[in-house]
Structure 1
Amino acid sequence: MTALDTPQPPQPPHPGDAAPADGPEPGRRSRPRPRLPARLRRAGLPYLLLLPALLLELLVHLVPMAVGIVMSFKELTQQYIRTWGDAPWAGLANFRVAVDFDAPVGEALLRSFGVTCAFTVLSVGLAWVVGMAAAVLMQENFRGRGLLRALFLVPYALPVYAAVITWSFMLQRDNGLVNHVLHEQLGLTDSPTFWLIGDNSFVSLVVVSVWRTWPFAFLILMAALQNIPRELYEAAQVDGAGIWQQLRRITLPSLRPVNQVLVLVLFLWTFNDFNVPYLLFGKAPPESADLISLHIYQSSFATWDFGAGSAMSVLLLLFLLVVTAGYLLVTGRGRKHDG
């Protein structure tokens, strides 16, 4: 027997060696490894991913909003533009002036609010109707459907400044395309019409706004119609249901959740619209097209009374918050009732 075959006595474990793999040392209770940090990492990952968007939202929207609210309580005029923090504190004086409908400032604001409400109702309603009709028609298979869908989205894809400036040239009285077609080509009017001044400016504003927004409604509704099973329409046709009955009994109830969100988005976009009226009429729009966004702009930068303009903006924000909350509450109750 060699020295290698001789059994060696067991060696005591070295203090730095790891514990045996088959279990802990006798007499010691095993400690479970903490899992809380891993859970925290998994739970905090979504918030970490949302952090850049939240920071941008804070810088772009929330901070200016807070500054505007503070400005609404100050007598902020052109004398304090560079040092607006030193402007005297006005309290609720700016709000009292804005809601005093017997005074010229409040009367003008109320008239602008009424024009904006009428403009929003007509623009959103017509944009939804045109978008809904186009979405329903585009569900049928026919030659050139893809090209027609792409053409329908052109008004929404065009930059707003290029599109509205083009409309302003088309609506010119003497050399605009609209009067050229209506007056010179078709002879529908006795004389060229003023489309950018007077009462007709409201019609021009609604037309341009609908032209800009209906492709968005068409896009959303067309995508929503793809999720309605075709078997429902086939069964309705077998039962003798016509087009209007299918639209009333199948299409509109199926699109109710989408329409609730779509109408709210269109309402907020249209009520706050500033680019379209500003590009069409400039800084001083006619009374029939004096939307509240332009009115607040004039109250702030034409008269250099930024405190009053900020107070009007805060009132507009409160109105939109109340309307949005009420709309969501009513539609939420309707959805629960249907469920």
Structure 2
Amino acid sequence: MGTAKVRSARGDSSGGTKRGPRRPTGRLRRVSLPYLLLLPALILELLVHLVPMVIGIVMSFKELTQFYIRDWGTAPWSGIDNYKLSVDFNGPVGESLLHSFFVTVGFTLLSVGLCWAIGTTAAIYLQDTFRGRGLLRAVFLIPYALPVYAAVITWAFMFQHDNGLVNHVLHDQLHLTDQPSFWLIGDNSFYALLTVSVWKGWPFAFLIVMAGLQNIPRELYEAAALDGAGMWQQIRRITLPSLRPVNQVLVLVLFLWTFNDFNTPYVLFGKSAPEAADL
């Protein structure tokens, strides 16, 4: 008993048995786990976006003809000749590129402006509570929820010259045109493309603006109404200034999406778009 007490006292005086430093295995696992979970997405992003982008840049410096399409790696290098050809606006390639740029800018500005105007108007209209508001919200979001390819193909059928729904309504029912119009060729193709773009884009603007309106206190509108402000004054003095940060982000996102939109004109017109809608 005495020996045990002495040993216990010695152990207590020396601070107990010393243990070696812990291995940071658990902490290392906790730190590395998020990166391991993100690794499949990063690999997929690399394969889907970065690798094709690098290949496209390399191909732009090669002299690709019909003889090298299947095996572009054996094509001779052309340096920056392709870029010189593109910026030569007196030549056919440069002239076509410049025309496409101006058409794209005009189309983007019109589409973004109309999407914002229609979406904001619809969101303000549905701001007040009334019977059937939830149903209208769901109906307004249908174009945004539909698959792009299915929606654009449906519009292509509706724009058909002989048996399309658009000509049936405008010419046969409302008699607004002297004869059925060609919507997928000629100058009307620009308006057809603009219609499809606005139709599938404005619900997103409606959704974002509707969310932004929820942050505006109702007391501001009630105080403005007591001061004699009408609906337009409330929109101009309260709604639009309060939505300025939301609208800045919304317009930027819509501009980037519309300017880079490839699926809509490709599905609507095919490989060769009309000159008026050549984005």
TM-score, normalized by the shorter chain, greater than 0.5: yes
Q: How far apart, CA to CA, are the structure 2 residues paired with 1:66 and 1:143?
A: 54
Out of 114-123 and 80-89, give the one that drifted further: 80-89
Aligned position for 2:3: 10
Aligned counterpart for 1:141 among listed residues 116, 129, 151: 129
Secondary structure of the corresponding residue to residue 192 of structure 1: coil
Write out per-residue CA displacement over residues 231-272 of structure 1, whole angstroms, 9 at most, x where no aligned residue.
222222222222222222222222222222221221121112
Structure 2 CA distance for aligned equivalents of residues 21 and 245 of structure 1: 81
Give, in angstroms, the shift of residue 85 of structure 1: 2.4
1:246 maps to 234
RMSD over aligned CA atoms reads: 2.7
User: How many Å apart are 1:200 and its aligned residue?
Assistant: 0.7
Which shows bigger deviation, 226-235 or 190-199?
A: 226-235
Corresponding residue for residue 294 of structure 1: none
**Matching residue's letter, 2:123:** A
Give the corresponding residue for 1:188: 176
Instruction: Please state how far the C-alpha of 1:97 moved relative to its aligned partner.
Output: 0.6
Once residues 202 and 229 of structure 2 are traced to their aligned partners in structure 1, the CA distance between those partners, rounded to angstroms, is 29
* Higher RCO, Cα 8 Å, sep 6+: 1
2:191 to 191, 194, 203: 203
TM-score (norm 1): 0.74
Query: Which runs of no fewer than 5 residues in structure 1 stay unpaired?
Result: 1-7, 292-339
Distance 1:193 1:228 in 2: 46
Aligned to 1:301: none
What does residue 244 of structure 2 align with? 256
Q: Structure 1's 34 and 244: CA in aligned 2 closer, same or farther, altered over 3 A?
A: farther
Residue aligning to 1:79: 67
Q: Which amino acid aligns with 2:145?
A: A
Match of 2:209, as an amino acid? L
Instruction: Return the match for 1:234 from 222, 232, 246.
Output: 222
1:32-111 equivalent positions in 2, closer than 5 A:
46-111=34-99
Alignment partners' CA distance in 2, 1:40 and 1:22: 35
Which residue identity does 1:169 align to in structure 2? F
In structure 1, give the amino acid aligned to 2:15: P
The 3 A distance-change label for structure 1 pair 171 and 31 is same
Distance 1:177 1:82, change over 3 A: closer
1:125 corresponds in structure 2 to 113
Q: What does 1:178-327 align with in structure 2 at a 5 Å threshold? A: 178-291=166-279
Partners of 2:57 and 2:173 in 1: how far apart?
A: 53
- Letter of the structure 2 residue corresponding to residue 282 of structure 1: G
Read off the aligned partner of 1:197 and give its amino acid letter.
Answer: I
- Match of 2:3, SS? coil
Amino acid at match of 1:65: M
State how far apart, in whole Å, the 2-side matches of 1:257 and 1:45 are. Answer: 36
- Provide the secondary structure at the position in 1 that maps to 2:219: helix
Alpha-carbon deviations, 1:25-74, whole Å to 9, x = none? Answer: 5xx9x799579877766665554554433332222111211111111111
Q: Deviations over 1:102-136 (max 9, x none)?
A: 00011011111111111111111101110111111
SS at match of 1:233: helix
Alpha-carbon deviation of 1:79? Answer: 2.5
Which deviates the most, 213-222 or 225-234? Answer: 225-234
Cα distance in 1 for partners of 2:198, 2:108 equals: 10
1:24 to 8, 11, 15: 15
**Alpha-carbon shift at residue 86 of structure 1 (Å):** 2.5
CA distance in 2, matches of 1:137, 1:131: 10
Higher gyration radius (CA) = 1
Task: Say yes or no: does 1:113 pair with 2:104.
Answer: no
Aligned length: 278
